[in-house]
Amino acid sequence: MSNPLLNIPLLPPFEKLEPELVEPAIAELVKTCEQTLQQGLKAPSWENTLVPLEQAQDQLNKAFSPVSHLNSVLSGQWRAPYEAGLTQVTAYWTELGQNRALYDVYRQLAQSAEFENWQQPRKQSIELGLRDFELSGVGLQGQAREQFAANSRRLAELSSQFANNVLDATSAWTWHTEDESQLFGLPQTALAAAHSAAEAKGLDGWLITLEGPSYLAVMTHAENRELRREVHTAFISRASDTGPQGGEYDNSEVMEAILTLRAEQANLLGMKNYAEFSLASKMAADAEAVLEFLNDLAERAKPAARSEISELREFATDKLNVDALQPWDIAWVGEKLKQQRYAISQEELRPYFPYAKVLSGLFTVVEKLFAVTVEEGTDIATWHSDVQFFWLLKNGEKIAGFYLDAFAREKKRGGAWMDTVSSRRQTPEGLQLPIAYLVCNFSPAVGAMPSLLTHTEVTTLFHEFGHGLHHMLTQIDVAAVSGINGVAWDAVEMPSQFLENWCWQPQAIAMISAHYETGEPLPEVLLEKMLAAKNFQSAMFTVRQLEFALFDFRLHASDAPLKAEQVQLLLDEVREEVAVVPIASENRFQHAFSHIFAGGYAAGYYSYKWAEVLSSDAFSLFEEEGIFDRKTGEKFLHNILEQGGSRDALDLFVHFRGRQPNIDALLRHSGIEQQELNISPS
């Protein structure tokens, strides 16, 4: 039987994929890439060397993409084959990054007479390629070269292990009761989901898990303070040395090993620390610029955050008889205060945001902005019955596609993300369309009740679709810089955060909301309350994000890699400087901080705030011209979304906005007093 992974078409044949097919397919595809390179080096040129190599690597990427994806959304039987494939793929890319002969081809092309006459995407792919070769240790010799390669392979394994520990720890803990009074305060949607979770395990009653919807429902609504404490403790101690699972899935040694190897990589390249290595491929000029940005923003936000937490404590004491505000009280008390002040809650809004209506409304928003339509695909294989596939069309013609896996389930990685199935590129057969995965973890339908989203979940869907549009609306045909490829990591969040703004616009809200039973629009009184509450505790949220960003950056800017105990001390130090909420003694946030230990955000978590300056300022032009102004939408489409990584992110922003980025819009949108900040993302 032929192996379907050897020749993946545009859409993976998920119905034919089996775990045992992975290892032999990846081995063969890696071999093909290596042979293609050797053939291309015989007469080096763009056409002879880089074009066929891109074609071979595209087949490798399209084969490994569904394997990596299935490991994230199904885990279980896909873990071992994914890790085996990861070992082979990492080894290939590591060796390629140190291939001196290929590096010389890039150098020769960059110095050639025709280089200046090339179109920008091709030129950019060469320039970024040269940078990436240098960051891959192409200039190293002997033992240093071998050590760098070995470290790269080991880092890939450790990142996967870190993520596995977090997933296993999350899945392993549950809390079961047959006494519904223990769950008093939980909304009906959460109770139904807990009952369904219990039934799935063959249990009577209700089952609370650490999956996002279940955890958040308890922390926000459960009147049972002891339950909140127990669930909170289990969540914040996941994959660590403490808490109810202490030591069982402990990431302490994994974390230490990752930090040690990252520091070694940077040192081998002559850099002081991993932060310097990370910034070599980002917008920010240097570590000082990042720290100045974060510290100045913290200085402005912390007074407001202190005021918000003081208000919360006073309300807890005076109105709720909670004398000592604990970490497991924060969300619950905050929800009570929000309801008192604005007479609004996420649960009151939930019936007006049925998933199907939000999704169709999102598509309408995007059509108005960028003149593209969305059409559900038919007879397309997926990995789960909940998953949908859609085509993106322009003037009736298919230009891209995406899978949407929206709902939480067991053995599925938490959070939300966008990933690549295939990139837009020219092939011998014609244009290959960009295809994306969009993944969320919303509460699924239970019985006759459809999936109902909180407004926070609505913004999550818009956020991930913004990432998807960045990938899918590209007009660049060189794979290395099409879509999100080649985009500076501290700019890659801009389109996603940008699209979130429409979740707060009355015109757009009318498109994405309707009561799931009656079809009635969101009442004006609820809309006004929702908008009035937009910046409720926004300063507390801001300093929390700054806590994570400062911790991450200072962790990787350290002169020497830290041990687990020192990592905790650093986090405690950062919290002392910027945090305002109480922290439980069992809190081991770092042990489950997958963004920096199992994702691409190491020494780059600051990107969320950095890119938010760009996204807020970009949206301010729509505020000036009209939120559905077609001319402004086309301007954003042509200058940002279509360009991918073909040009410098700051240059693209300036082309769109007509000036350098300004932080005023971010401060205004966040409700933080506007003061002059000594920062610039340029």
Domains and their CATH numbers in the chain: 4-167 (1.10.1370.40), 173-236 (no CATH), 350-518 (1.10.1370.40)
Token readout for 182 is 């223990």
Token readout for 541 is 């949220």
Token readout for 380 is 């397309």
* Residue 162 CB burial class (10 angstroms; 0-12, 13-18, ≥19): buried
CB contact set of 2 (below 8 Å; sequence gap of 6+):
none
Rounded to an integer, the average pLDDT of 325-333 is 98
Phi, psi angle pair for 671, to nearest 5°: 75, 15
Among 296, 277, 295, 298, residue whose Cα is nearest residue 286: 277
3-state secondary structure at position 384: coil
Rounded to an integer, the average pLDDT of 249-256 is 98
What would the pLDDT profile of 140-155 be if each residue is shown by its tens digit? Answer: 999 999 999 999 999 9
Among 629, 679, 89, residue whose Cα is nearest residue 370: 629
Which 3-state string (H, E, C) describes 268-295? HCCCCCHHHHHHCCCCCCCHHHHHHHHH
Distance of CA 21 to the CA centre of its chain: 29
pLDDT grade, residue 682 (50/70/90)?
very low
β partners of residue 427: 430
Q: How far apart are CA 356 and CA 67, in angstroms?
A: 28
Cβ burial 83-115 (10 Å sphere, 16+ → b, else e): bbbbbbbbebbbbbbbbeebbebbeebeeeeee
CB contact set of 190 (below 8 Å; sequence gap of 6+):
213, 214, 217, 218, 221, 443
Q: How many alpha carbons lie under 13 Å from residue 494 in its C-beta half-sphere?
A: 31
What would the pLDDT profile of 199-215 be if each residue is shown by its tens digit? Answer: 999 999 999 999 999 99
Among 499, 484, 473, residue whose Cα is nearest residue 642: 473
Among 246, 247, 348, 310, residue whose Cα is nearest residue 537: 310
Q: What is the pLDDT of residue 428?
A: 87
Q: Which residues are catalytic?
A: 464
Please report how the helices 252-268 and 564-578 are oriented relative to each other, as an axis angle in degrees rounded to 10.
90
Q: How far apart are CA 67 and CA 172, in angstroms?
A: 24
- For residue 75, is pLDDT > 90? no
pLDDT grade, residue 1 (50/70/90)?
low
* Residue 524 CB burial class (10 angstroms; 0-12, 13-18, ≥19): exposed
- For residue 674, is pLDDT > 80? no
Query: Which contacts of 369-377 are long-range, i.e. CB under 8 A and separated by 24 or more positions?
Result: 369/628, 369/630, 369/633, 369/636, 369/637, 370/469, 370/473, 370/633, 370/634, 370/636, 370/637, 370/641, 371/630, 371/633, 371/634, 372/399, 372/473, 377/401
Cα angle 85, 91, 92; round to 5: 90
Q: Residue 428 in contact with residue 55, Cβ under 8 Å?
A: yes
Higher pLDDT, 676 or 157: 157
Q: Residue 574 in contact with residue 554, Cβ under 8 Å?
A: yes
- For residue 679, is pLDDT > 90? no
Token readout for 463 is 């956020």
CB atoms within 10 A of CB 314: 12
pLDDT grade, residue 675 (50/70/90)?
very low
Q: How far apart are CA 216 and CA 236, in angstroms?
A: 13
pLDDT grade, residue 678 (50/70/90)?
very low
Q: How far apart are CA 218 and CA 228, in angstroms?
A: 6
* Residue 163 CB burial class (10 angstroms; 0-12, 13-18, ≥19): buried
Q: Residue 344 in contact with residue 526, Cβ under 8 Å?
A: yes
Q: What is the pLDDT of residue 273?
A: 98
What would the pLDDT profile of 96-119 be if each residue is shown by its tens digit? Answer: 999 999 999 999 999 999 999 999
What would the pLDDT profile of 79-100 be if each residue is shown by its tens digit? Answer: 999 999 999 999 999 999 999 9
Q: What is the pLDDT of residue 569?
A: 98
Q: What is the pLDDT of residue 672?
A: 81
pLDDT grade, residue 677 (50/70/90)?
very low
Q: How far apart are CA 380 and CA 14, in angstroms?
A: 9
β partners of residue 373: 393
Element (H, E) at 20: none
Q: How far apart are CA 400 and CA 468, in angstroms?
A: 10
Phi-psi region of 137 (alpha: psi -120 to 50; beta: other; left: phi over 0): left
CB contact set of 507 (below 8 Å; sequence gap of 6+):
627, 628
pLDDT grade, residue 673 (50/70/90)?
low
Q: Residue 251 in contact with residue 164, Cβ under 8 Å?
A: no
Token readout for 470 is 């960045």
Which 3-state string (H, E, C) describes 155-202? HHHHHHHHHHHHHHHHHHCEEEECCHHHHCCCCHHHHHHHHHHHHHCC
3-state secondary structure at position 505: coil
Q: Residue 590 in contact with residue 255, Cβ under 8 Å?
A: yes
